[in-house]
Each structure stands twice: as structure tokens, then as C-alpha cells.
Structure 1
Amino acid sequence: MTAEARAKNIKVLIFDVDGVLTDGQIFVIPNSEGHGIEAKGFSAHDGLGISLGRLGGLRIGIITKRQSQTVAIRAKDLKLEFIYQGQSHKMNAINEILEKTGYTLDQLAYVGDDIIDLPVMRRCGLAIATANARQQVKSAAHYVTANAGGFGAGRDAIDFILSAQGTLEKVIEQYLDESSTAAAASDVGTGNM
């Protein structure tokens, strides 16, 4: 089955975070108390893509091994439906998401970049690797994004799915329509975190 055929069936889209929604770098800035403050960079293209995906009917979330206040803040700003941090075995979170939604593995797409993502990618309906992913992850993927994590890979994944479903152009026009209440409701936060 082609990646496009798989994408037509997708209802839930889950992202890893580090190396997928970020470039994988983690900046630790010391504070006056000797503790570190974590900083990461996220792509605005991915944020707008998440709005388009939600408007197109996708249910979107993240699963990450790390615990990060930075990620929690960004996830809230993106209005993500599923937020799982501290997940060493990501299939546990996937099973919980599927139970909550009533969807099946073949209706779930997952975007990853490293070997911790392989258990999900080997079982989900559409496995997507970022351009910067490890070779083992690219080998397990049905689709590899044109852009690297932190530089629009998330948007690539959303555009690919919505294009395969035949809704991308309609969703873009709906998003641009100032009178669309659905577009306003699907949009991400204003960054006033």
C-alpha cells in the first residue's frame, strides 16, 4: 500500500517532540539558584500546520520521553488534544489515545526521528520520518519529510496527509476566510504564554 493510500485513512496524528517539532537541540540556561532552564526552538510553520490539520479534522498530539516545562507551554499554545510526556514506551500512550478516540492503529499517523519511535512506527497506519531522522527510522517510514525537525517537518506531515485526503486546498481557503468561526476555533494560541 502506498503512503498516499495510507494517509487517506488517517484520523489521529501524533508527533515526537525533540528532533521532530524541534531540531533536537536542548539549551540549558543556568538560573541564579543553580538550576537549569530549558529552552527549545519550535517552527511557526508547524504551528500553523497544526491549525490546518485540526481544521481538516485531524486529532493531534505529542508523545515524548522527556519531561519539559518548555514542551508543556508550547503544547498548550498549540492547543494539542493529546499531551504525553515522560513516556519511555510510547505504545502505552498510543493505546490510551486509541481507547479514548475509538480509532484503530491504521487510522493513526506517527512522526518520529529516532529509535525510541520505532515501536509505534512499525505498527501505525502511516509512519513518517523527518529528513533528519536516523537511518533505522527512515527505513521503517512510509514517508520521509522534505524538511528536518524544527524546520517544518511537522507541516510537511500535515500537508502530506491533507493532500492525500483531498482537503488541503479547501482547508487553506477556510483558514484564510476571516468569517470562518471553525478556522478561528482551530487556530493555535497567540503566543502570549
Structure 2
Amino acid sequence: MSIIQYDLTKIKAFIFDVDGVLSCQTIPLSSAGEPLRTANIQDGYALNLAVKNAYGVAIITGGNTQAVKIRYQSLGITDIYMKSAFKINDYRHYISKTGYTPEEIVYIGDDIPDYPVMREVGLPVAPADAAPEIKQIARYISPVKGGCGVARDVIRQVLIAQGKWMNEEAFGW
């Protein structure tokens, strides 16, 4: 049973920010000063399962590290927008490219750069540790912090609502 107050049978696509959503808010820096992101294994499983079940999955991040791109491409995600200075522009490019309507999209963001996109999608979601301004406009605030399984929480609820969580695609990589 879903705890998200939205008709989850409408959802056809998921869009994620990285820092503070798919990766923890606090990140170590390499000796060269490059941010090193975390990746939650259960999020990865859920992201891959969404791809295998033919959902649209996209990443829109202000970051620009090759490791992020490699990680999410390895899960089958092809729509990865890096160095996104104005996320709303990449969001609009994605929906024009795919034909999804705002009502069919979940966007998970945690901070001010995510605000404009979250105002346009049908189901804006925030991790438990999101900025207050983001929590104010979220239709669902996950009990899970960013980088700790928030993607799994949301994808699981959508796939359960659509009868795709424990389907044949679930049992393999």
C-alpha cells in the first residue's frame, strides 16, 4: 500500500537530482578537490528495475563528474544531464524529447536548484533532509534521507501500485 497521496498509476517517468538525493549531502573530496559521491545499492537496484520495466528514468544534476555518469549509465539510464545550471531547461528538453506529461513524472530534489522543476511536475518528492523550501512544495516527503534509499522508497511504491514490483524483471540483473 502506498503512503504517497497521488495516483501512482499515472507515473511513467522518474527524474532525479544527484547530490542530496541519490548521494548523501555530505561528500568527501579527492586530493584534487573533486567531489566523491556515495551511491546507495538499493537505489541502484530500484533504478535498474524501473529501466527494465520501461519507465523513463533521467538524471539532472549540477555536478559534472565522470563517476556519476558511469554509475547511472551502468544501470541503464541514458538521459543524464550534467552541469545543469538551470534544471528547468533540461527538464523541458526531456519532456519534449520523450512526450511525457508533467502528471506522469516524479521528480526527486532536495535543494533550491530543484525548485522550478518541482513546481512543474505532477509528483514532486523530497528526501527527509531536504531544504525547507523544497519540503514546502513536495507532495511527498520521504522518511528516508538523500543517499540512503529515497529513490528505492519512491520507485518501490510506484511499481507496487502498478503491479510491477515483484514481477519477472525483479529477479536478476
Q: Same fold (TM over 0.5)?
A: yes
Structure 2 length-normalised TM: 0.90
State the secondary structure of the residue aligned to 1:38: coil
- 1:28, CA displacement in angstroms? 1.4
| 1:147-190 CA-partner distances (Å, limit 9, x unpaired) | 111111110110121123233233xx4322xxxxxx6xxx4xxx
Q: Distance in 1 between matches of 2:155 and 2:122?
A: 15
Structure with max Cα Rg: 1
For residue 6 of structure 2, what is the aligned residue in structure 1? 4
Partner of 2:170: 175
Separation in structure 1 between the aligned mates of residue 161 and residue 117 of structure 2, nearest angstrom:
21
Structure 2: gaps of 5 or more residues = none
> Which residue is equivalent to 2:53?
56
Which residue identity is paired with 2:20?
A: G
What's the C-alpha RMSD, in Å, of the aligned pairs? 1.7
Q: C-alpha distance in 2, partners of 1:81/1:145?
A: 26
Residues in 2 aligned to 1:136 and 1:36: alpha-carbon distance in whole angstroms: 29
Which AA in structure 2 matches 1:52? L
Q: Which runs of 4+ in 1 moved over 4 A?
A: none
Deviations 1:58-104 (A, max 9, x none): 11110011212221221222221210011121111111111111111
Q: So what's the TM-score if we normalise by structure 1?
A: 0.81
Q: 1:81 aligns with which of 78, 82, 101?
A: 78
Cα deviation 1:100-126 (Å, max 9, x = unaligned): 111111111100111111111111011
Q: Residues 1-193 of structure 1 correspond to what in structure 2 (within 5 A)?
A: 3-5=5-7, 7-30=8-31, 35-170=32-167, 173-176=168-171, 187=173
AA aligned to 2:96 is: E
**Gapped runs of 5+ residues in structure 1?**
177-182, 188-193
